[in-house]
Structure 1
Amino acid sequence: MSFQWSLQPMIKWMHFIGVYLESPGKDNSSRFRLFVTAYGFILFFVNVYSNGMMAAKFLQGFENISHQTTSSVLWNAVVSQTNYILMTIGCQLSLISGAVSTWPGLIHILREMEKERYFVSKDFHHFRRIYLSGLGFLIAVILAILGIAVTIIMSTQNQTKVDTLFQICFTFLLIFVFSGGALFSCFGWMVASMLTILAERVVEQSNSNCSGCDWEKTFVRWRHLYLKISRLVDKMNECYGFLLLFLITSSFVVTINSSFIIMRDVNDEGIDYNCFIHSFFLIIQFSHFAVLAYVPHRIRESAIYLSKQLRELKIGNEARQNKVNFFILDVLNSLPQITALGLFDVNLRLAPTIVGTTLTYLVILCQLHYSAK
């Protein structure tokens, strides 16, 4: 068992969407890398071209509907379209650039961990289950969105082939958004599990009779493993900073826009099919945001759990106890934190922020909309 085996499901998926992620193993073929990179650039061109065509089509129809609705609805549509373009292009570009520049640093640390044999077979099985679960959830979300898109296409009468193509492109481009979120979430969950595994080893040491063990060697391995996990978190910030910035900010925009559309439709036309569609996308988007915010929280809580287990470790030797106490201070003073390019922390505190921001803008948009009517 190895990290190569554990990460393989998500790495294969990223290759499928044109993002070459270096493997922790030794099967990194330069020819295959060139093929995936070229394939990725083709998909990026398709992304940019499709967004350009959709933007042009949106601008063509903008003047036709500008006199039929309120300014708040128009600007909501403009912001929604702009956010979609930035989100899809930005996420794919972040994945490609991160795979080239910073992902190899993450893999290097994993190789060091594997070389030092910090983890055993059951740990690698657990890591693989994380990536399989993330991939399964990702595919389920994509299939659900695809099903909604097909339903919309089939229920719309007199729809041109161009409009049908745009609906398909809309669904396809969202793959990069949710794939980026799944990759970050799975890797972050694995890091949190590493901290939990380290804490469990401290518990085992505390419950066992350590009279015949090499305590100094064990303590040094704990400390080295924690330092490597801390380096992993730092590299995660470098690798996923831009991606998180696009994902979190777009979540705010999508939540506000979808909430306004639902509120307007319910008040103007009652609960209809369009309302259900936007409610469905709102639930998916907020669930995606909740997972992104929870993973950094879990990493931090796992580090705190480690410090609590170290605090429970009682050693008769005063010098050794002092080393443990200093280790506890190091853990508490350097709790892992995930940020979006250092602009803001990504954690569960963003949840009340997005709710409060959504309610504030929802009130403003509704006031502007109904005052104009």
Structure 2
Amino acid sequence: MARTIVCKVTPVVSARRDISWCFQPIFVWMRVLGIDLNPKNHKAISIYGFLMLLVGTGAQFDNASVISWKLSLPKNDTNALNISTSKTNNWNIEVDYFNHICLMVLVSPTVFYVARNQWQLLWRLIVDFDSNYCQLDHNQLRKKLSIGVVTLLLEISATLHALYLVFPDFRREFIMRKFLTVFAFFAKILPISSLLWYCYVAWISSLFYEAIQRDIDRTCKVRKEDLRRWKCSLVLAGEVVDGINECFGLILLISVTHFVVDFIVNTFYLVNNVTITNQFRLVIALANMLRKLTMLWFITCTPTEILQKASNVAYSLRKVNCLGMDLQNQVSFLALDILQSLPRISALGYFDINFELLPKMIGTTLTYVIILYQFHSSEKFDVNQPMELTTSI
């Protein structure tokens, strides 16, 4: 009789308080954007998602063609975007526009491909680890994951501000042009949402290593069963990190490259606005830089947490007491193996994603901003140079 009661109750509890329940907000949000991450559905991508991909990509190419046309117009044309008298500033504007367009055009198809092909295997590994090797507090986990909504709200606010800036020209457009423009502006929410999705998964993998460390610290005397359990859990946690690299490697490569170029562009805007003492534009440029820097900090923070917590597992293994010298040697070899092959998240193997990216990005940004400002200053000098030559003649 007791056995029958257990069989009836257990599925209800797991359906309400498993790790899928913790990820339900991001699952629902990505489904609104056309990406189905729910493993309970048989189709990983729906007709709605495919249409969203086609319309979004088409809107981006249409927006890129319109921007290219406006940038090529003479400065005295009312439709021209080259409102600056500086060629360096105009070149910076062009790079800024196409940097954003490349992010949206390249990341969106990649996200759809990942959701259809690679995500399901990674999700099964996460569910397997959570159900067999650790017991996370799912209520607290869902509350912490909900903090990511702030990132989406900031991105939506920035998109609305960008639409507000183009609103005077926007009112004169045709209905189809208005639809494509709005869709192209809001299409950037998908790449940002995919980065938030990545941060969730990477943070969960760091919690897995933390759960292994707690299990080791609670063990007074190590037995063979404990060592076998730790080896299995470490192998599965490593497979989760490998799955993250396979799923998000290309997305991280494109996104981090976008952030580096974006910081260079916005830093030049910031320096240029300081020199022309435009306080409103200065505040907007500073707010955009802080928003992007916060997002990049989260992207690099979670892999650093994985490294740190995996190292803590190895240090905890070195402190345990074992029953027998042979078992002690096996534990020591396991700790050494962890330190020699620490889990790392990389952008397709080109570079590792961690806090070391931030000083490198700052150094690259300062170098290019100095070069750009030198070109900008030389243009100011060239404007006065013909007058000096004419006077001397």
Q: TM-score range by the shorter chain?
A: 0.7 to 0.9
Q: Deviations over 1:130-187 (max 9, x none)?
A: 43222x2333323432453465367x58853468667634541121121011001110
Amino acid at match of 1:345: D
Aligned to 2:208: 194
SS of aligned partner of 1:93: helix
Equivalent of 2:107 in 48, 68, 91: 91
SS of aligned partner of 2:322: coil
Q: Deviations over 1:328-357 (max 9, x none)?
A: 012111100111011111111100011111
Cα distance in 1 for partners of 2:368, 2:347 equals 23
- TM-score, normalised to structure 2, is 0.83
Aligned to 1:131: 145
Q: Sort the Cα spacing of 1:170 and 1:201 in 2 relative to 1 into closer, same or farther, 3 A.
A: same
Higher relative contact order (CA 8 A, sep 6+): 1
Aligned to 1:17: 33
Q: Deviations over 1:46-81 (max 9, x none)?
A: 222222222222222223236952322222122112
Cα distance in 1 for partners of 2:178, 2:56 equals 16
Aligned to 2:302: 295
Structure 1 portions without partners, runs of 5+: none
Check the 8 A contact 2:152/2:192 in 1, yes or no.
no
Are positions 1:176 and 2:190 aligned together? yes
Aligned to 1:249: 257
Q: Sort the Cα spacing of 1:126 and 1:313 in 2 relative to 1 into closer, same or farther, 3 A.
A: farther
Amino acid at match of 1:89: V
Are positions 1:239 and 2:247 aligned together? yes
Amino acid at match of 1:301: Q
Are positions 1:369 and 2:392 aligned together? no
Aligned to 1:45: 54
Check the 8 A contact 2:152/2:189 in 1, yes or no.
no
Check the 8 A contact 2:223/2:322 in 1, yes or no.
no
Aligned to 1:108: 124
Identity %: 23
Q: Which moved more, 1:350-359 or 1:93-102?
A: 93-102
Q: Which moved more, 1:145-154 or 1:324-333?
A: 145-154
Check the 8 A contact 2:107/2:254 in 1, yes or no.
yes
Aligned to 1:62: 71
- TM-score, normalised to structure 1, is 0.88
SS of aligned partner of 1:339: coil
Q: Sort the Cα spacing of 1:158 and 1:78 in 2 relative to 1 into closer, same or farther, 3 A.
A: closer
Cα distance in 2 for partners of 1:285, 1:60 equals 28
Q: Which moved more, 1:69-78 or 1:142-151?
A: 142-151
In the TM superposition, 1:154-165 aligns within 5 A as 160-161=172-173
Equivalent of 1:73 in 89, 92, 103: 89
Count of aligned pairs between the two proteins: 355
Check the 8 A contact 1:22/1:107 in 2, yes or no.
no
Cα distance in 2 for partners of 1:283, 1:367 equals 25
Aligned to 1:353: 360
Q: Sort the Cα spacing of 1:68 and 1:316 in 2 relative to 1 into closer, same or farther, 3 A.
A: closer
Q: Deviations over 1:15-41 (max 9, x none)?
A: 111112242xxx3244xx5xx522222
Q: Sort the Cα spacing of 1:150 and 1:78 in 2 relative to 1 into closer, same or farther, 3 A.
A: closer
Q: Deviations over 1:253-293 (max 9, x none)?
A: 1111111112112212x133222222221111111111111
Q: Deviations over 1:298-348 (max 9, x none)?
A: 111110111111111122521121111011012111100111011111111
Aligned to 1:342: 349
Structure 2 portions without partners, runs of 5+: 1-16, 76-81, 381-393
Cα distance in 1 for partners of 2:240, 2:233 equals 10
Cα distance in 2 for partners of 1:247, 1:283 equals 16
Amino acid at match of 1:141: L
Q: Sort the Cα spacing of 1:365 and 1:227 in 2 relative to 1 into closer, same or farther, 3 A.
A: same
Alpha-carbon offset, residue 106 of structure 1? 0.3
Cα distance in 2 for partners of 1:183, 1:369 equals 40
Amino acid at match of 1:118: Y
Cα distance in 1 for partners of 2:140, 2:324 equals 35
SS of aligned partner of 1:19: coil
Q: Sort the Cα spacing of 1:101 and 1:111 in 2 relative to 1 into closer, same or farther, 3 A.
A: same
Q: Sort the Cα spacing of 1:61 and 1:99 in 2 relative to 1 into closer, same or farther, 3 A.
A: same
Cα distance in 1 for partners of 2:41, 2:272 equals 52
**Who wins on radius of gyration, i.e. which is larger?**
2
> Which consecutive segments of 4 or more residues in structure 1 shift more than 6 A?
none
Alpha-carbon offset, residue 100 of structure 1? 1.5
